[in-house]
Amino acid sequence: MLLHDTHFHLDLFPNPEEMVSIIEKAKIYTIAVTNSPSVFFYTKRITSASKYIKPALGLHPELASQRKKEIKQFLELIDETRYIGEIGLDNLNKTSDDYLIQKQIFETILRACADKRNKILTIHSRKASKDVISMIGNNYPGKVILHWYSGGAKELEKAIKNGYYFSINYSMTISESGKKIIEQIPIERILIETDGPFTVFSEKPSTPELSEQIFVNIKRIKKVTYDFLSPNFKSLISNFQFESDKNKL
Ligand SMILES: [Zn+2]
Protein backbone atom coordinates (compact mmCIF):
# COMPACT_ATOMS: atom_id res chain seq x y z
CA MET A 1 0.00 0.00 0.00
CA LEU A 2 1.33 3.43 -0.92
CA LEU A 3 0.98 5.28 2.35
CA HIS A 4 1.51 8.97 1.77
CA ASP A 5 1.28 12.44 3.24
CA THR A 6 0.83 15.04 0.52
CA HIS A 7 1.07 18.07 2.83
CA PHE A 8 3.67 18.01 5.59
CA HIS A 9 5.75 20.91 6.97
CA LEU A 10 9.03 19.07 7.51
CA ASP A 11 11.08 22.24 8.05
CA LEU A 12 8.89 23.38 10.94
CA PHE A 13 9.79 20.41 13.16
CA PRO A 14 12.49 20.87 15.80
CA ASN A 15 14.73 18.24 14.20
CA PRO A 16 13.88 17.94 10.49
CA GLU A 17 16.82 15.64 9.69
CA GLU A 18 15.74 13.14 12.31
CA MET A 19 12.22 13.34 10.86
CA VAL A 20 13.64 12.50 7.42
CA SER A 21 15.05 9.21 8.76
CA ILE A 22 11.77 8.38 10.51
CA ILE A 23 9.83 8.88 7.27
CA GLU A 24 12.35 6.87 5.23
CA LYS A 25 12.14 3.99 7.67
CA ALA A 26 8.34 4.10 7.66
CA LYS A 27 8.36 4.24 3.81
CA ILE A 28 5.70 6.94 3.59
CA TYR A 29 5.69 9.06 0.43
CA THR A 30 5.72 12.63 1.66
CA ILE A 31 5.42 16.01 -0.01
CA ALA A 32 7.41 18.37 2.19
CA VAL A 33 5.74 21.72 1.62
CA THR A 34 7.52 24.98 2.38
CA ASN A 35 6.08 28.38 3.23
CA SER A 36 8.59 30.54 1.38
CA PRO A 37 11.20 30.10 -1.35
CA SER A 38 14.01 31.05 1.05
CA VAL A 39 13.53 27.80 3.02
CA PHE A 40 13.10 25.59 -0.04
CA PHE A 41 16.86 25.01 -0.40
CA TYR A 42 17.16 23.74 3.15
CA THR A 43 14.35 21.22 2.61
CA LYS A 44 15.79 20.21 -0.75
CA ARG A 45 19.22 19.66 0.78
CA ILE A 46 18.11 17.51 3.70
CA THR A 47 15.85 15.38 1.48
CA SER A 48 18.27 14.98 -1.45
CA ALA A 49 19.12 11.37 -0.55
CA SER A 50 15.55 10.48 0.29
CA LYS A 51 13.48 8.05 -1.74
CA TYR A 52 10.19 8.95 -0.10
CA ILE A 53 10.26 12.71 0.51
CA LYS A 54 9.79 15.31 -2.20
CA PRO A 55 10.53 18.97 -1.43
CA ALA A 56 7.87 21.42 -2.59
CA LEU A 57 8.37 25.07 -3.45
CA GLY A 58 5.85 27.34 -1.74
CA LEU A 59 4.80 30.84 -0.79
CA HIS A 60 2.14 30.62 1.90
CA PRO A 61 -0.81 33.01 1.38
CA GLU A 62 -0.49 34.31 4.94
CA LEU A 63 3.10 35.34 4.19
CA ALA A 64 2.43 36.55 0.66
CA SER A 65 2.00 40.26 1.34
CA GLN A 66 4.93 40.40 3.75
CA ARG A 67 7.20 38.40 1.43
CA LYS A 68 5.91 39.44 -1.96
CA LYS A 69 9.46 40.16 -3.14
CA GLU A 70 10.21 36.44 -2.85
CA ILE A 71 8.01 35.77 -5.87
CA LYS A 72 11.08 36.51 -8.00
CA GLN A 73 13.04 33.78 -6.24
CA PHE A 74 10.02 31.48 -6.51
CA LEU A 75 9.98 31.84 -10.29
CA GLU A 76 13.73 31.27 -10.49
CA LEU A 77 13.41 28.03 -8.54
CA ILE A 78 10.37 26.67 -10.33
CA ASP A 79 12.30 24.05 -12.32
CA GLU A 80 13.95 22.64 -9.20
CA THR A 81 10.92 20.51 -8.31
CA ARG A 82 7.68 19.17 -9.69
CA TYR A 83 5.92 19.83 -6.37
CA ILE A 84 4.46 23.23 -5.52
CA GLY A 85 3.07 24.26 -2.12
CA GLU A 86 2.05 25.65 0.16
CA ILE A 87 0.34 28.22 -2.02
CA GLY A 88 -3.22 29.56 -2.27
CA LEU A 89 -5.43 32.14 -0.62
CA ASP A 90 -6.50 32.82 2.97
CA ASN A 91 -9.25 35.28 3.75
CA LEU A 92 -9.67 34.78 7.48
CA ASN A 93 -9.47 38.25 9.08
CA LYS A 94 -7.39 39.73 6.25
CA THR A 95 -7.50 43.31 5.01
CA SER A 96 -8.63 43.80 1.43
CA ASP A 97 -5.11 45.02 0.54
CA ASP A 98 -3.53 41.91 1.92
CA TYR A 99 -6.02 39.68 0.11
CA LEU A 100 -5.43 41.54 -3.14
CA ILE A 101 -1.68 40.91 -2.93
CA GLN A 102 -2.35 37.25 -2.16
CA LYS A 103 -4.45 37.02 -5.30
CA GLN A 104 -1.75 38.62 -7.43
CA ILE A 105 0.92 36.26 -6.09
CA PHE A 106 -1.33 33.21 -6.48
CA GLU A 107 -2.21 34.19 -10.04
CA THR A 108 1.47 34.60 -10.93
CA ILE A 109 2.31 31.19 -9.45
CA LEU A 110 -0.65 29.49 -11.18
CA ARG A 111 0.35 30.93 -14.53
CA ALA A 112 4.02 29.99 -14.15
CA CYS A 113 3.10 26.42 -13.14
CA ALA A 114 0.61 26.13 -16.00
CA ASP A 115 3.41 26.92 -18.45
CA LYS A 116 5.38 23.94 -17.10
CA ARG A 117 2.34 21.64 -17.47
CA ASN A 118 3.56 18.92 -15.10
CA LYS A 119 3.30 20.46 -11.64
CA ILE A 120 1.55 19.00 -8.61
CA LEU A 121 0.10 21.81 -6.50
CA THR A 122 -0.99 21.62 -2.87
CA ILE A 123 -3.32 24.51 -2.19
CA HIS A 124 -4.66 26.34 0.85
CA SER A 125 -8.15 27.85 0.52
CA ARG A 126 -9.40 28.86 3.98
CA LYS A 127 -12.38 31.24 3.65
CA ALA A 128 -11.37 31.63 0.00
CA SER A 129 -12.46 28.43 -1.73
CA LYS A 130 -14.67 30.26 -4.23
CA ASP A 131 -11.82 32.48 -5.44
CA VAL A 132 -9.30 29.64 -5.40
CA ILE A 133 -11.52 27.41 -7.54
CA SER A 134 -12.43 30.14 -10.01
CA MET A 135 -8.77 31.16 -10.40
CA ILE A 136 -7.62 27.58 -11.08
CA GLY A 137 -10.58 26.85 -13.34
CA ASN A 138 -11.72 23.64 -14.97
CA ASN A 139 -8.93 23.03 -17.41
CA TYR A 140 -5.75 23.47 -15.41
CA PRO A 141 -2.68 21.85 -16.98
CA GLY A 142 -1.34 20.30 -13.77
CA LYS A 143 -2.47 18.29 -10.76
CA VAL A 144 -4.40 20.26 -8.16
CA ILE A 145 -4.76 19.14 -4.55
CA LEU A 146 -7.02 21.20 -2.31
CA HIS A 147 -5.47 20.74 1.11
CA TRP A 148 -7.74 20.71 4.22
CA TYR A 149 -10.78 21.85 2.25
CA SER A 150 -13.24 23.63 4.54
CA GLY A 151 -15.43 25.55 2.08
CA GLY A 152 -19.07 25.10 1.12
CA ALA A 153 -20.81 22.19 -0.56
CA LYS A 154 -21.49 24.07 -3.80
CA GLU A 155 -17.84 25.01 -4.29
CA LEU A 156 -16.84 21.48 -3.37
CA GLU A 157 -19.03 20.15 -6.13
CA LYS A 158 -17.38 22.52 -8.57
CA ALA A 159 -13.89 21.52 -7.46
CA ILE A 160 -14.82 17.84 -7.94
CA LYS A 161 -16.15 18.59 -11.43
CA ASN A 162 -12.93 20.45 -12.20
CA GLY A 163 -10.95 17.28 -11.46
CA TYR A 164 -9.09 18.31 -8.31
CA TYR A 165 -7.82 16.02 -5.59
CA PHE A 166 -8.48 16.58 -1.89
CA SER A 167 -6.01 15.82 0.88
CA ILE A 168 -7.69 14.80 4.11
CA ASN A 169 -6.15 15.15 7.56
CA TYR A 170 -6.97 13.67 10.95
CA SER A 171 -8.94 16.71 12.18
CA MET A 172 -11.25 16.45 9.18
CA THR A 173 -11.99 12.79 9.92
CA ILE A 174 -13.25 13.56 13.43
CA SER A 175 -15.20 16.80 12.92
CA GLU A 176 -18.81 16.82 11.73
CA SER A 177 -18.13 19.36 8.97
CA GLY A 178 -15.04 17.44 7.86
CA LYS A 179 -16.95 14.15 7.70
CA LYS A 180 -19.64 15.74 5.54
CA ILE A 181 -16.96 16.95 3.12
CA ILE A 182 -15.30 13.51 3.01
CA GLU A 183 -18.67 11.87 2.28
CA GLN A 184 -19.12 14.11 -0.75
CA ILE A 185 -15.69 13.53 -2.33
CA PRO A 186 -15.44 10.63 -4.81
CA ILE A 187 -13.14 7.96 -3.38
CA GLU A 188 -10.71 8.21 -6.32
CA ARG A 189 -9.93 11.84 -5.48
CA ILE A 190 -8.97 11.29 -1.86
CA LEU A 191 -5.38 11.67 -0.68
CA ILE A 192 -3.97 11.82 2.81
CA GLU A 193 -2.18 14.67 4.52
CA THR A 194 -1.20 15.46 8.09
CA ASP A 195 -0.35 19.18 7.80
CA GLY A 196 1.96 18.58 10.77
CA PRO A 197 2.90 20.41 12.90
CA PHE A 198 -0.29 22.46 12.42
CA THR A 199 -2.44 19.53 13.51
CA VAL A 200 -1.93 17.47 16.64
CA PHE A 201 -2.63 13.89 17.56
CA SER A 202 -2.41 12.69 21.18
CA GLU A 203 -1.08 16.14 22.08
CA LYS A 204 1.89 15.76 19.69
CA PRO A 205 2.33 17.43 16.29
CA SER A 206 1.18 15.09 13.52
CA THR A 207 3.79 13.33 11.41
CA PRO A 208 3.39 11.20 8.26
CA GLU A 209 3.20 8.15 10.54
CA LEU A 210 -0.36 9.24 11.30
CA SER A 211 -1.39 8.58 7.69
CA GLU A 212 -2.36 4.99 8.41
CA GLN A 213 -4.82 6.08 11.14
CA ILE A 214 -6.28 8.71 8.81
CA PHE A 215 -6.72 6.00 6.17
CA VAL A 216 -8.61 3.84 8.70
CA ASN A 217 -10.88 6.75 9.60
CA ILE A 218 -11.61 7.59 5.96
CA LYS A 219 -12.45 3.96 5.17
CA ARG A 220 -14.97 4.02 8.01
CA ILE A 221 -16.55 7.27 6.79
CA LYS A 222 -16.67 6.12 3.15
CA LYS A 223 -17.78 2.61 4.15
CA VAL A 224 -15.11 0.93 2.02
CA THR A 225 -12.58 -1.74 2.90
CA TYR A 226 -10.18 -1.72 -0.04
CA ASP A 227 -6.92 0.14 -0.63
CA PHE A 228 -7.82 3.28 -2.56
CA LEU A 229 -4.59 5.01 -1.53
CA SER A 230 -2.28 3.27 -3.95
CA PRO A 231 -4.24 3.91 -7.18
CA ASN A 232 -4.98 7.49 -6.13
CA PHE A 233 -1.38 8.28 -5.35
CA LYS A 234 -0.19 6.63 -8.57
CA SER A 235 -2.64 8.67 -10.61
CA LEU A 236 -1.54 11.85 -8.82
CA ILE A 237 2.09 11.41 -9.76
CA SER A 238 1.44 10.12 -13.27
CA ASN A 239 1.37 12.56 -16.16
CA PHE A 240 -2.20 11.63 -16.92
CA GLN A 241 -4.49 14.68 -16.78
CA PHE A 242 -7.82 13.37 -15.47
CA GLU A 243 -9.19 12.57 -18.92
CA SER A 244 -11.06 9.50 -17.69
CA ASP A 245 -12.50 11.45 -14.78
CA LYS A 246 -13.70 14.21 -17.07
CA ASN A 247 -15.56 11.71 -19.22
CA LYS A 248 -17.35 10.40 -16.17
CA LEU A 249 -18.50 13.80 -14.94
ZN1 LIG B 1 0.01 23.63 5.63
Residue 30, φ and ψ in degrees, nearest 5: -135, 130
Please tell me the distance between residue 235's alpha carbon and the centre of ligand 1 in angstroms: 22
* Phi-psi domain of 203 (left: phi exceeds 0; alpha: psi -120 through 50; beta: other): left
Please tell me the distance from the alpha carbon of residue 33 to that of residue 27, in angstroms, as a whole number.
Answer: 18
Please tell me the distance between residue 33's alpha carbon and the centre of ligand 1 in angstroms: 7
Please tell me the distance between residue 9's alpha carbon and the centre of ligand 1 in angstroms: 6
Predicted confidence at residue 1, as pLDDT, reads 87
Mean pLDDT value of segment 90-101: 97
Please tell me the distance between residue 189's alpha carbon and the centre of ligand 1 in angstroms: 19
pLDDT greater than 90 at residue 243: no
Question: Are 181 and 149 a contacting pair, CB within 8 Å?
Answer: yes
The model's pLDDT over 119-150, given as tens digits with 9 standing for 90+, comes to 999 999 999 999 999 999 999 999 999 999 99
Mean pLDDT value of segment 94-99: 97
Please tell me the distance between residue 86's alpha carbon and the centre of ligand 1 in angstroms: 6
Predicted confidence at residue 23, as pLDDT, reads 97
Please tell me the distance between residue 8's alpha carbon and the centre of ligand 1 in angstroms: 7
Please tell me the distance between residue 148's alpha carbon and the centre of ligand 1 in angstroms: 8
Please tell me the distance between residue 222's alpha carbon and the centre of ligand 1 in angstroms: 24
Please tell me the distance between residue 168's alpha carbon and the centre of ligand 1 in angstroms: 12
Strands lying side by side in the sheet with 29-32: 4-8, 29-32, 53-55
* Phi-psi domain of 187 (left: phi exceeds 0; alpha: psi -120 through 50; beta: other): alpha
Q: How confident is the model at residue 249 (pLDDT cuts 50, 70, 90)?
A: very low
Please tell me the distance between residue 124's alpha carbon and the centre of ligand 1 in angstroms: 7
Domains of the chain by residue range: 4-248
Question: Are 119 and 84 a contacting pair, CB within 8 Å?
Answer: yes
Topology of domain 4-248 in CATH is: TIM Barrel (3.20.20)
pLDDT greater than 80 at residue 245: no
Please tell me the distance between residue 125's alpha carbon and the centre of ligand 1 in angstroms: 11
pLDDT greater than 60 at residue 58: yes
Please tell me the distance between residue 248's alpha carbon and the centre of ligand 1 in angstroms: 31
